Amino acid sequence: METRVVSVISGKGGVGKTTTVANLGAALTAMGVETLIIDGNIDTPNLALHFGITEIHWSFQDVLNGRVDAARATLVHSKSGVRILPSSLKYQPADMKNLRGALDQLTGYEIIIIDSPPGVIGHVEDIIEASDEVIVISTPDIPGVVNAAKAVKLSRDIGKTNILLVLNKVLEKKFELKKKEVEFISDCEIVCAIPEDEAVPLSLGDKIPVVLNNPTSPAAQKFKELAGIISRKGFAFVPAPRRGFFSRIIGFFKRLFGR
Ligand SMILES: Nc1ncnc2c1ncn2[C@@H]1O[C@H](COP(=O)(O)OP(=O)(O)OP(=O)(O)O)[C@@H](O)[C@H]1O
Ligand SMILES: [Mg+2]
């Protein structure tokens, strides 16, 4: 079986990467797609906490450090059937340069999704490099999108062409950037816009992803829609439209990015 490796990255912290990875893992597993989620945020991990998993015998850091095989460190969340390779909650440095080797130890998965630390520094480059497809998460505000643009550019510079932008915590308020503005600034197409929804932090408290905890909530419906998009074999990168008058701020961003 050919495995597709999908990384979830962002320019800015706290935009919803881990929430997205947890929900994609739960939704794809429920759809019958052989899926593994990996906590690649090895310095400040929390993917396992979204499933209430706190006891981690072998960690992803152990895998990266060659202390254990990746398959042996993989856990199955009993309530959801989600397979997860968690990082140790204790500080445990590891070499992300060994990611490809770790991925090679994993067979039988259709999709492996990797959560990442925020930003475009450190381990994120290694994670992007090991990926076939990249999902960039952003909130619809200027700091989020300007930094998301960097994440898109870094992915492209590394040679990735399958890059998708997902907007999260969308309030549909006037002060938010419009979709066309976000696509112009980031130079990437938005495939899914997930609403800000109280059901998400509630699910974190219940230690079960919102797609399972409250499947009809607005956020859950969108996470399921995203899972449907990701499940299709390879997603094509479509450059964002460059023409047209989008907003008052376009000139500013043109100057910022020199295009
Ligand atoms: N659609 C949403 N609606 C409401 N709250 C959300 C939504 N998505 C995420 N959150 C909340 O935002 C917070 C940050 O989410 P999350 O941890 O997934 O972000 P992150 O990008 O992984 O952060 P970090 O960069 O620190 O790893 C969490 O408290 C989460 O419950
Ligand atoms: Mg996170």
pLDDT tens readout for residues 213-223: 999 999 999 99
Q: Which atom of ligand 1 is nearest to the CA of 195?
A: 1
Which of the 8 DSSP states describes residue 255?
H
For helices 218-231 and 199-206, angle between their N-to-C axes, nearest 10 degrees: 80
Distance, in Å, from the CA atom of 23 to the CA atom of 77, rounded to the nearest integer, reads 13
Type of residue numbered 89: L
Q: Indicate if ligand 1 lies below 6 Å from the C-beta of 17.
A: yes
Question: What is the CATH number for 59?
Answer: 3.40.50.300
Distance, in Å, from the CA atom of 254 to the CA atom of 259, rounded to the nearest integer, reads 5
- pTM beyond 0.75: the answer is yes
- What digits encode the pLDDT tens for the residues 5-45? 999 999 999 999 999 999 999 999 999 999 999 999 999 99
Structural domain count, the chain: 1
Q: Integer distance in angstroms from the first to the last C-alpha of the chain?
A: 42
Domain hosting residue 31, numbered range: 4-257
| β-sheet bridge partners, residue 115 | 8, 39
Q: Of 117-126, 180-189, 243-252, which gets the smallest average pLDDT? A: 243-252
Residue of minimum CA distance from atom 23 in ligand 1: 14
pLDDT of residue 257: 60
Q: Indicate if ligand 1 lies below 6 Å from the C-beta of 43.
A: no
| Cα 80 from chain centre | 19
- What digits encode the pLDDT tens for the residues 123-173? 999 999 999 999 999 999 999 999 999 999 999 999 999 999 999 999 999
Q: Indicate if ligand 1 lies below 6 Å from the C-beta of 24.
A: no
Residue 80 pLDDT greater than 90, yes or no: yes
| β-sheet bridge partners, residue 114 | 7, 38
